[in-house]
Amino acid sequence: MLGLTLFTFLFLLLPLELVSQSSSESSEYIRTPVLGSADVFSLLYYTKIGVGTFDATPSFKNYFLAIDTGSSLTWLQCEACRNPGNHCFQQLKPPFPNSNSHTYSPLTSCESQRQATSSRGSCIGHMEYNSGEKTQFEVAHEHFILETNVHKSFKTVKLEFGCGFNQTGFNEITKPGIMTGILGLSRDQMSFQFQIDTESGKGLNFSYCFPILTKRGGPTTYLTFGKNIPSRSGFSVTPLLSIPGDELYYVKMFDILVNGHPLHIDPSYFDVRKNGGVFLDTGSSISALVQPVYDTLERRLMTIFSANPNFHRKAVMALTCLHSAMTYRKRVTGISIYPPSSLFSKTPHLSSSLVRDSTLVKMPIIDSFVL
């Protein structure tokens, strides 16, 4: 679920339920590179995907799509956004030239798309994200070309996606021009990991590792799909909660720690049945809290900051920014976290997580949300 990107917290890795490949490909799995932006207004993570079939070498074009576990639609900004009356957001390379792709095939029926309706023989959809970004798109089939862990090996899959022809509100989160669309990874059956599962249709496990970003960049990491994702030892496990009719990934949260001390927040604020629950969202680089929880956190932080007069004024300014970031999603009644999020710590550290069989596997971290 895309959100206004003000700042991020730390380093993470997360996978989900993968489905089997054929036995002849048991050691091969999809592995697409992850790229992040250290721009303060665009703290999103992207993965490189090949799209289309062209009379060129290579025969496809590469694009960077923002990784979003909070939505199901995969879409790409297309050339029609340049037509009169339409809008494009800024990107470094030209929009996808779908009219020149030999494998681009618009849908004539909208049976599989909740966000779309039939219009003059085409399927036209509209998506609005929680912080106001909007895209209008034509639903089509196209070939997506995905790198694997085998050197110079690719998998080609036919996907149903949105070819965006009118985008508004994205320029604030795409200032570096890296983003060219969204990769939807929610629980919905139309999400990317379900569509690339060409055998069972149950959806592939996926994993990702997000590095801490600096102006110098970060280490090379990957978004991975397949039953043979390499496992790691030393992880703790937190179950993912499945809510009927809801496509988000929820966790049961108990409290928030600051400097290692719990805030003793009423657990009902984290209860999905009462206050919306706590869900993981890679499409937002902030952690949003309901007001009572935020107020408790702010009071504790101000107590700590006030003990240092030289730091107090800057801390007030930082908390003003924090308040703006955490409360911008006025339509969200629950709590979202950019998983797993560490709020404050004395020294930089890394946290990582992995999702298998509907569980979030998380390395212990200090000064954090308690799951």
pLDDT band at 356 (very low <50, low <70, confident <90, very high): very low
Residues 157 and 276 placed together within one structural domain of the fold: no
Residues 218 and 251 placed together within one structural domain of the fold: no
More confident residue, 246 or 363: 246
**Spatial distance between the Cα atoms of 147 and 82, rounded to a whole number of angstroms:** 30
Among candidate residues 205, 225, 245, the one where a domain is terminated: 225
Tell me, what's the pLDDT at 204? Answer: 80
Q: In angstroms, what CA-CA distances link 365 with 14, 101, 128, 297, 304?
A: 15, 47, 34, 18, 20
Reply yes or no on whether the pLDDT at 352 is more than 50: no
- Asked which of 70-74, 92-96, 275-279 is least confident by mean pLDDT, the reply is 275-279
Reply yes or no on whether the pLDDT at 91 is more than 60: yes
Reply yes or no on whether the pLDDT at 275 is more than 90: no
Would residue 349 count as lying in a domain? yes
**Spatial distance between the Cα atoms of 49 and 65, rounded to a whole number of angstroms:** 7
Would residue 4 count as lying in a domain? no
Tell me, what's the pLDDT at 220? Answer: 79
Reply yes or no on whether the pLDDT at 127 is more than 70: yes
Residues 75 and 218 placed together within one structural domain of the fold: yes
Per the structure, the complete domain to which residue 349 belongs is given by: 236-370
**Tally of domains in the chain:** 2
**In the chain, what percentage of residues exceed pLDDT 90?**
30
Reply yes or no on whether the pLDDT at 363 is more than 60: no
Reply yes or no on whether the pLDDT at 215 is more than 70: no
Among candidate residues 225, 253, 287, the one where a domain is terminated: 225
Residues 251 and 344 placed together within one structural domain of the fold: yes
More confident residue, 107 or 360: 107
Residues 92 and 130 placed together within one structural domain of the fold: yes
Residues 28 and 94 placed together within one structural domain of the fold: yes
Reply yes or no on whether the pLDDT at 369 is more than 50: yes
More confident residue, 308 or 22: 308
Among candidate residues 184, 200, 225, the one where a domain is terminated: 225
Reply yes or no on whether the pLDDT at 311 is more than 50: yes
Residues 196 and 310 placed together within one structural domain of the fold: no
Residues 86 and 185 placed together within one structural domain of the fold: yes
Would residue 5 count as lying in a domain? no
Residues 221 and 241 placed together within one structural domain of the fold: no
Q: Please report the DSSP string for 64-115 in residue order.
A: EEEEETT----EEEBGGGGSTT------SSPPB-GGG-TT-EE-S--TT-TT
More confident residue, 302 or 361: 302
Q: Which CATH number characterizes residue 19's domain? A: 2.40.70.10
Over residues 332-357, mean pLDDT: 34
Residues 301 and 263 placed together within one structural domain of the fold: yes
Tell me, what's the pLDDT at 35? Answer: 84
The type of residue at 161 is F
pTM over 0.85: no
